[in-house]
Structure 1
């Protein structure tokens, strides 16, 4: 069920752009703080469904469980998922009760149904956010992909992880090639593929690459997993110390935004593989179904005779039938067309693609709030994670519910 009142209202109090885990976390926290907020916000997402992209990504890569423990989820009660899982204990995986994918999905749907949140989703995409200032107050006109528009007093941007990060050599490929033979991980759906006898090169040393490799081997492919540095084995993508004052105290004390950005990079330290996935990869290597190549950087790829000829910086050459890129995403708000008008009207300091926001994750001089990885300069290296969604909600919700924290009184 989605928003069914037609036409859209001309004005709304709060517009939330995106319907992923960050948006769901915010809405759940907002309604816990004040049930009066029910009916005062709309959520805009092209899919018309909560968590659509998240659920698809986990299913497409056949990810069996989350990387984060069971206390990290959209519900304001940190123990809500454990309670939900009481009759399904085998779906909390060791070593830290990592929720199984189906369990987490069912839990999110339970939360959505409990709060009747399906009714607030508008199945359309916001294409532009236009700030309109009148009598020293700024509101926003949201332009939608169906040509409609709606005015909002306040906007929360919760659109996720950025654009696919493509290595330079991809844009330098001079030979035409079939599109399905070179894909970013976002475009791979293991469920639909028959790979018996294929040779697949997977580029990247992160967990996504690991899941792709496991899935390809299971379908009969011969896999080469390549990383530009040594493979890193870690339980979590950032040290749990970043969830509290252990590391954040020093991070928040740092007033140089560039240094904060460097602290974030050092903490995340690129992609890493969990011990469980690493064990599966090593097992596949022992069986001769896979090989790991570290400190390899591709400099050239040529498509000829129905296969890829790939050359690395050290002169090593590889031949394969498919290349999959597990090279992550790139966060840069300047590449987001939604924000072009906001940047023009309200310029802010940008550090390597990330905006400087206020303590409530609010864009300077207007009521636009930012969640996810784009809020990392304020929240730290876990900003894009489920724990970061909770941290963001703890900052944004007071600014939405306390009149004294609003920039403009209604």
Structure 2
């Protein structure tokens, strides 16, 4: 069987791509004023909001279920499960994360920017929304600072208190239910095959017309597809750093990475046994991001007497893991600056500056400060492990720390060490991409490949990357929910251009020899011109969708 699209990964990025490929009328990626300009351009008689007020639009589920999804065939391959978002849900349950960090307007639904907000109201679940305080208006101050506090602000950059409704975060359960609603509306339930992709190759399949196809070798067999979307996150699983300075030769000792653990606790049996017996226990957590704070809190609530949280850098408190200007409603203006950079090297520097290492939300900052006040948590900034030796008899670590002041600190006996360090996206760490890298190499900067503006591996190879690996094209939010939807939009436009009208279903081996078009060929010059015209109308330009934000004809007061 040969598919039109094969998506590798069933997480948020994979779901966003699959849903967008089955949506013929996606919402714009711009702010409310920009969205209004989009409707005016198309001269629609009624906007979505007017349809709602006039009662002409049915409930979201009913209206969407009546639309037949496009017939383009699709398969989703995921190593973790045959269910959407399974790895995501497992991590949230494991770390007992009750609230998302991203605001309401970041989600995988392609049809409505405010879909998650509408879902919460429709099901009377607004009580599960948590306000992000001290955000509304802060974006404007950043913009005004850059404009030297010019009082004249373009209409599309104004922020007023009515936007406060967007700066809430949904509960984990609400977001999961909303994603399930997206899966049902776009009929994506039975697309996933649990299989680990081992190799991806592109070339001839040996037929008479010799079409170019992707062959995906998995532990469940081989799959064929015209296009492939790689939606796998950073590309490699976070692990204990090689330079951790813990002596792991011989008996490894009690140490783990938080993403390696399974079950209900990050703590090993011997620590749980000591807690049950009422003995004193100590745990070291290494990492400076939100996950490290969540693990420290979990350990203390689980009965550990003392936790040391080691941060290699400063202790940073931020609402989001990137600066506000990349997350707020004016992020498109900042993205236009990112896209207009002179080189990918400059974009890479902007990525590093925007993320600037791990950070902790104000909510968890308060939680950690309560633990510090109780004496059960110690925060050590600009500190790393200088040496760690494991004693098998007592099942404890002897650890020496080193700080930026070059002062060595000896900790009391430690029962367990947990690493909560992240993993930077790196295409060279993606095992299934090794053969593509060998046969069709492209340049990369810091592990981020220099893909095309359409997120393709190469102009002649319809392999698409989304998520963190597409950071040089999607910006600092590439690995977040913001990047998931933006990446899905670009990918869907290009796949529509490459494949043209959907074929109606998966092809078998006999059909491919008869009527399978080459993935790199567009039907006719007329079709290509029509697609480019539609795309220009929607994004503002063919290559750079952010050029539409100049809006020089808008009123400035």
TM-score (norm 2): 0.68
The 10-residue stretch of structure 1 (151-160 or 330-339) with the greater mean CA deviation from structure 2: 330-339
Alignment of 1:34-183 (within 5 A): 37-38=70-71, 40-46=73-79, 47-76=81-110, 77-86=112-121, 87-95=124-132, 96-133=167-204, 138-146=212-220, 148-161=221-234, 162-170=236-244, 173-177=247-251, 181-183=254-256
Q: More deviation in 382-391 or 128-137?
A: 128-137
Is contact 2:285–2:418 with CA below 8 Å preserved after alignment? yes
2:470 counterpart of 1:386: no
Deviation at 1:308, TM superposition (A): 1.2
Query: Does the CA-based 8 Å contact 1:21-1:389 persist in structure 2?
Result: yes
Aligned 8 A contact 1:68 1:236 in 2: yes
- Residue 240 of structure 2 contacts residue 256 of structure 2 at CA under 8 Å; is this kept in 1? no
- Distance change >3 Å, CA 102–CA 178, structure 1 → 2: farther
| Aligned 1:245-264 pairs, distance under 5 A | 245-264=332-351
How far did 1:185 drift?
1.6
In structure 2, list runs of 5 or more residues that go unmatched. Answer: 26-67, 133-166, 501-518, 524-557
SS of the equivalent of 2:399 reads: strand
Matching of residue 408 in structure 1 with residue 408 in structure 2: no
CA separation of 1:205/1:172 partners in 2, compared to 1, >3 Å: closer, same or farther?
A: closer
The structure that is strand-richer by fraction is 1
1:4 alignment counterpart = none
Give the whole-Å Cα distance in 1 for the aligned partners of 2:309 and 2:487. 35
| Residue pair 1:163, 1:330 contacting (<8 A) in 2 also | no
Alpha-carbon offset, residue 165 of structure 1: 4.7
Residues 456 and 462 in structure 2, CA contact (< 8 A), matched pair in contact too = yes
Once residues 286 and 240 of structure 1 are traced to their aligned partners in structure 2, the CA distance between those partners, rounded to angstroms, is: 29
Contact 1:61–1:190 under 8 Å retained in 2: no
RMSD over aligned CA atoms reads 2.1
Q: Give the Cα separation in 1 of the matches to 2:318 and 2:299.
A: 22
Q: Give the structure 2 partner of residue 316 of structure 1.
A: 409
Answer whether contact 1:137 1:408 (CA < 8 A) is retained: no
Work out whether residues 425 and 468 of structure 2, in 8 Å CA contact, stay in contact via their aligned partners in 1: yes
Q: Does 1:369 align with 2:464?
A: yes
After superposition, give the CA deviation of every residue in 1:34-89 in whole Å (9 maximum; x if it has no partner). 85534511001121111010000111111110001111111121211112212111
Cα displacement (A) at 1:136: 8.4
Partner of 1:203 in structure 2?
286
18 and 275 in structure 1: CA distance in 2 versus 1, 3 angstrom threshold = same
Distance 1:274 1:166 in 2: 24
Q: Distance in 1 between matches of 2:455 and 2:385?
A: 38
Q: Is the 8 A contact 1:238 1:382 kept in 2?
A: yes
Note if contact 1:131-1:342 (Cα within 8 Å) is conserved in structure 2. Answer: yes
**Preserved CA contact (<8 Å) 1:175 1:303:** no
What is the DSSP-based 3-state SS (H/G/I as helix, E as strand, rest coil) of the residue aligned with 2:325?
helix
Task: State the alpha-carbon separation in 2 of the partners of residues 380 and 306 from structure 1.
Answer: 45
Per-residue deviation at 1:301? Answer: 1.6
In the TM superposition, residue 409 of structure 1 has moved relative to its aligned partner by: 4.1
Structure 2 distance, partners of 1:290, 1:168, is 26
Alignment partner of 1:334: what SS? Answer: helix
Establish whether residue 329 from structure 1 lines up as the match of residue 423 from structure 2: yes
Residue of structure 1 equivalent to 2:538:
none
* Alpha-carbon separation, structure 2, partners of 1:317 and 1:33: 62
Once the two structures are TM-superposed, the CA of residue 177 in structure 1 deviates from its matched residue by 4.0
Task: State the alpha-carbon separation in 2 of the partners of residues 227 and 153 from structure 1.
Answer: 46
Deviates more, 1:136-145 or 1:99-108: 136-145
Choose which of 226, 237, 256 in structure 1 pairs with 2:310: 226
Length, aligned pairs only: 399
Task: Compute the displacement of 1:302 (Å).
Answer: 1.4
Instruction: Using the TM superposition, name which of 169-178 and 253-262 deviates more.
Output: 169-178
> Partners of 1:267 and 1:165 in 2: how far apart?
24
Cα distance, 1:94 vs structure 2: 1.6
Which residue of 1 is the match for residue 323 of structure 2? 239
Using structure 1 for the length normalisation, give the TM-score.
0.92
Change (3 A) 1:404 1:103: closer
1:128 and 1:338 in contact (8 A); partners too: yes
Q: Matched residues in 2 for 1:239 and 1:142: separation?
A: 38
Aligned 8 A contact 2:245 2:385 in 1: no
In 2, distance between residues paired with 1:226 and 1:251?
33
Contact 1:139 1:367 in 2 (8 A): no
Kindly state the Cα deviation for residue 288 of structure 1 after the two structures are TM-superposed.
1.4
- Are 2:453 and 1:359 equivalent residues in the alignment? yes
1:343 paired to 2:440: no
Which deviations, in whole Å up to 9, do the C-alpha atoms of 1:325-348 show, x marking residues without a partner? 111113211121211111122110
Structure-2 separation of matches of 1:37 and 1:185? 41
